[in-house]
Homo-oligomer: A and B are copies of this chain.
Amino acid sequence: MATRTREPLTRERVIEAALRVMDDEGLEAVSMRRIAREVGVEAMSLYHHVEDKEDLLDGICERVMADFEFPEQGDDWAENCRRGARSWRRLLKKHPNVMRLFAEERGPIRSVDSMRPTEFALRLLRSAGLSDRDAAQAFHAFGGYIQGFVMMENGSIAGGADPEHAKAHAALAAALPEEFDALQAVAPYFLECDTDEQFEFGLDLLIRGLGAKVGASPGAGGQEPPRTG
């Protein structure tokens, strides 16, 4: 028979297929029917493994986060931060569409593995000498920067990566009234666009700033937490 006791579809396999389709064909290709086809099943069968499409997308997010590659750590906290940040960016760029999912309101976390990157980052910041409070703040600062940067790389609002769009952008900048002189002066550098270098630039700013802060109040562990009621 064709329908021999087949491999019994799991949530993991569904999500994996969805991630594959998303990476290969874009987020709009991720429909229940498309994913079902991908795993050799009809659309409605997926609902035995995911609650609904939102849940599927949540699953993709967690799946991606769980793929974070933990960089080796050395003695220099700044370099450790840099490596962590680069790794996070690399991950986000590997699945360009996941930023769009992050930008939506996501459901509660379900898998433990997807929290490991956060734990990793927080340890790193604490080991740099930040208080728990400052670690939380710095976490948001770095997280925001990295995700926002990648978003600008992908979405290309106000300075994107792909040459064609950048070219169009620059052409438009050149055609602008004279009052946009700063834009016209800087446009070539938008075009040049070595995004790795640009990423490092901002990363450097954050780390320098953090260095100043660490130097200012060195070695402080966590003081008492705020009342969380």
A residues near B (Cβ < 8 Å) are: 61, 99-100, 102-106, 108-109, 112, 115, 118-119, 122-123, 126, 132-152, 154-160, 165, 168-170, 172-173, 176-177, 179-180, 182-183, 185-186, 188-192, 197-198, 201-202, 204-210, 212-213, 222, 225-226, 228
Contacts and interface: CB of A to CB of B under 8 A. Distances in A.
Nearest to A225: B188
Contacts of A156: 105-106
10 contacts: A61-B157, A100-B100, A135-B182, A136-B186, A137-B201, A144-B149, A145-B148, A146-B148, A205-B206, A208-B209
A127 to B, nearest CB: 9
B108 A165 contact: yes
A101 to B, nearest CB: 8
A70 B115 CA distance: 39
Nearest to A190: B136
A159 B121 CA distance: 13
Nearest to A106: B157
B213 A205 contact: yes
A105 B161 CA distance: 11
Contacts of A137: 189, 197-198, 201-202
B228 A119 contact: no
